[in-house]
Copies of this chain bind each other. A is one copy, B any other.
Amino acid sequence: MTKFDEATQAIRIDETAYDVCLDPGYAIGGPLNGGYLMAVILRAAVDASPFEHPVSTTAQFLKAPAPGPARVEVERLKAGRTVAFMRARLVQGGVTQIECLITTATLADVSPAYAEEPGYVMPRPEDCLKLPDPKPESGMTLNAQMELLFDPPTVGWLRGAPTGRPESRAYFRMAEPQDPDPYVLALAVDALPPVVFSAGARGWAPTVDLTWHLRALPAPGLLTLIGSGRLVSDGWFDEEIEVRDSRGRLVAQSRQLARVGRG
């Protein structure tokens, strides 16, 4: 069991409740990372489902839960022959923190009938950039859990040279060697700095809701995260992440709606 497996563990209490312990090692400043929290919730929801994979997950981020014990409450809304619909909520101190709808199924590892080619060719990993380690007082403990190698222009904002478009692209893997799986993908779809940083925005950009789809089971190796946004307006922006595995196959697609920071 890897550290990530352990940090996302959900202990079954009964058919509808799981105990979890939110790990302070996945913090982004004060709050915990939304992708990590989704991974925790998905452990419980998939365990309670008759199928193996979370093919669709929507999370509404109502509150920012604190590290420590919490509970995942699950409800099986309907289970059919190939698909089950689940509801899951992360509860802490009696208050719902995150509300989810999750669709589960069992994906087979087959050749796709149609697959769009990647819309962007990444530079080689050795030509990509790591971000500097965050200061300990920043509370960015998440960074130590994963390795991100950025397409250089998309971190130009760090040295005052944003590209002017919402975008962020990087290779991704867990710091502790571990093959990517659906839970790692839940982390990956919320792992990049907000795409609006490249459009010149700064500061805390809270996710309001996020939906991601698991499209195929990832092969071992580096993941590629291609992040973009189409509209920044009235304090809102969309962030879309496409995740491809080491074979170049599309394994996850996400879109989140978030608020532009005032930093």
Contact A208 B56 (CB under 8 A): yes
By beta carbon, the residue of chain B nearest A165 is: B114
Query: Is there contact, CB below 8 Å, between B253 and A238?
Result: yes
Known contacts A209-B103, A211-B211; decide if A114 and B232 are in contact (CB<8 Å): yes
- In the bound complex, how far is the Cα of B58 from the Cα of A58, in angstroms? 7
Size range of the chain A interface in the assembly: 35 or more
Known: A103-B257, A213-B238. A233 touches B58 (CB 8 A): no
Q: Which of A10-18, A105-113, A180-188 contacts B (4 or more CB under 8 A)?
A: A105-113
Bound together, the chains give a CA A200 to CA B60 distance in angstroms of 36
Is the beta-carbon distance between B231 and A115 smaller than 8 angstroms? yes
Among listed A25-33, A39-47, A77-85, interface-contacting one: A77-85
Within 8 A of B (CB), among A166-222: 166, 199, 208-209, 211, 213, 215-216
Across the interface, do A231 and B209 meet the contact criterion of CB distance under 8 Å?
no
Chain A residues engaging chain B, CB cutoff 8 angstroms: 55-56, 58, 60, 62-63, 77-78, 82-83, 85, 87, 96, 99-101, 103, 105, 107-108, 110-116, 165-166, 199, 208-209, 211, 213, 215-216, 229-234, 236-238, 242, 250, 253, 255, 257, 259-260
